Homo-oligomer: A and B are copies of this chain.
Amino acid sequence: MNNVKDSVGSNQNRSDDQLGRSRVKDNQVLEDYYSELEGVHTGAFWKVANAIEPWEPKALSEPVVWRNEVLRKLVLKSLDLVSPEDAGRRVVYLKNPKRTDVSAACGWLFSGLQVMQPGERAGAHKHAASALRFIMEGKGAYTIVDGHKIDLGARDFVITPNGTWHEHGVSEDGETSIWQDGLDIPLTNVLESNFYAVHPEGYQTVTLPENDSPLTYGAPGLRPELDKWDKPYSPLMKYSWDQSYEALLNYSKVTDGSPYDGVIMRYVNPQTGGDPMLTMGASLQLLRPSEHTKAHRHTGNIIYQVAKGSGYSIINGQRFDWKEKDIFCVPTWMWHEHVNTSSSEDACLFSFNDLPTIKKLGFYVEQALVDNNGHQLVEA
């Protein structure tokens, strides 16, 4: 199914009135039959077949941009309203306007902005959901994941894999810090698999050397000889901005990049070369000055944060302008292309997604737009 030509090509007859689709006409005998079925917790498949077997996926979410200038003020306002001790986490979360039944930003992904002040510290807990963070501003923030304490700076990418004890804080001599959280809580719930636990001592005791994770695993092409890490997620829990941006610049010198994404790299588990966590992936991409990518679409949902620069994306024919620290999403199977509007500066997009979930289950399909030289027509 990953070659979509014959399933999504324009020459496919998509009438439901053909052999291979359900085209049973209603009549009284059938109605009576349906009632009989209903009475014993059953139904006639041909009544629902066309609805539950659509020709192609229909996104549950709609594309949205959340402006940093709006979000930042609101999340800072919460500082005076609730404490981390009472709120658990002081997070303003993003609600996709099309989703009323679930707290999701896009697909089955949750996202929000969290804020903490110097000296604050939230209690430790764990859950089956996985979490990641992209730091937006501040100094002295840290996270503690299963006893590994890690310093966080602006634009660092950090993971909190499923089932790990974790807690966050800002040191006494730090600055008010804001970061974007990304979690698969909605996925974990829809798959009926969420667990939650509060740390028995309230907070973790740190006995390991600080930053042992990045100092041990944050090197290119080298791993400890005695690597006893046996978890299904990355032992490298922080991907620093400086190293990541330099990687992107280096790579940009020797690649033409992707036609759809410019110069793009994935954050990976250095132990396996695969995604850092089981359910969510993350990428960093660079759009060169004036770069305008071509459109493609694929299954899976993506949530972006603008790490650098400004531009716009066209999503299913609609233009969404963005600048640094804005957040936007591209729902499943929607055409999308990106534009860096600066002719002198590069633009960088951080993003996270549910692609590891989609790919592990064999659900990944991708399609390039062929018409109009690969570019969408933008709605007026």
Contact = CB atoms under 8 A, between A and B. Distances in A.
A311 to B, nearest CB: 19
A192 B332 contact: yes
Contacts of A208: 254
A226 interface: yes
Interface string A87-106: 11111111111000001000
B361 A279 contact: yes
Given A103-B43, A216-B255, A20 B202 contact: yes
Number of this chain's copies in the assembly equals: 4
A128 B209 contact: no
Interface string A289-319: 0000000000101000000000000000000
A325 to B, nearest CB: 15
A48 interface: yes
B42 A223 contact: no
A345 interface: no
Interface string A183-219: 0011111111111111110100000110110011111
Contact of A222 (B55, B284, B301): B284
B267 A221 contact: yes
Contacts of A362: 128, 130, 162-163, 232-233, 278-279
Nearest to A110: B52
Contacts of A198: 12-13, 18-21
27 contacts: A2-B163, A7-B126, A7-B195, A30-B81, A33-B81, A40-B71, A41-B97, A43-B95, A44-B91, A44-B93, A45-B90, A48-B93, A49-B89, A52-B103, A52-B186, A52-B189, A128-B363, A163-B362, A216-B254, A216-B255, A219-B244, A221-B244, A221-B267, A223-B273, A224-B266, A225-B283, A270-B273
Given A54-B189, A192-B331, 17 more contacts: A29-B81, A42-B112, A43-B103, A44-B93, A53-B127, A56-B196, A128-B363, A128-B365, A163-B362, A191-B358, A215-B254, A219-B265, A221-B267, A222-B284, A223-B265, A225-B285, A271-B273
